[in-house]
Amino acid sequence: MNTTEATTLLRTAAELDAFGTRTGPRALVMTMGALHEGHATLIRAARTAAGPDGQVVVTVFVNPLQFGEAADLHRYPRTLDADLAVAGAAGADAVFAPSVDEVYPGGEPQVRINAGPMGERLEGASRPGHFDGMLTVVAKMLHLTRPDAAFFGQKDAQQLALIRRMVRDLNFPVEIVGVETVREADGLALSSRNRFLDAEERHTALALSRALFAARDRLAAQQALHARAQTTTATTGRAAALTRLGEVRAAADTQAVAWARPDDGPAAVRAAARTILDDAAVAQPPLALDYLALVDPADFTEIPDDRTTGDAILAVAARVGATRLIDNIPLTFGADT
Residue 214 to residue 276: CA distance in whole angstroms:
8
Q: What residues pair up with 289 in beta bridges, in sequence order?
A: 318
Cα dihedral across residues 130, 136, 138, 140: positive or negative: negative
Query: 310: phi > 0 → left, psi -120 to 50 → alpha, else beta; which?
Result: left
Residue 1 to residue 97: CA distance in whole angstroms:
11
Residue 113 to residue 163: CA distance in whole angstroms:
11
- Stretch (H or E) spanning 30: strand 26-31
Catalytic residue, from 39, 74, 130, 203: name it.
39
What Rg, from alpha-carbon coordinates, does the chain have?
A: 23
CB 325 within 8 A of CB 318: yes
Residue 248 burial (CB < 10 Å; 0-12/13-18/19+)? Answer: exposed
Pairing of strands 323-333, 310-320: antiparallel
Question: Is 39 known to be catalytic?
Answer: yes
Residues annotated as part of the active site: 39
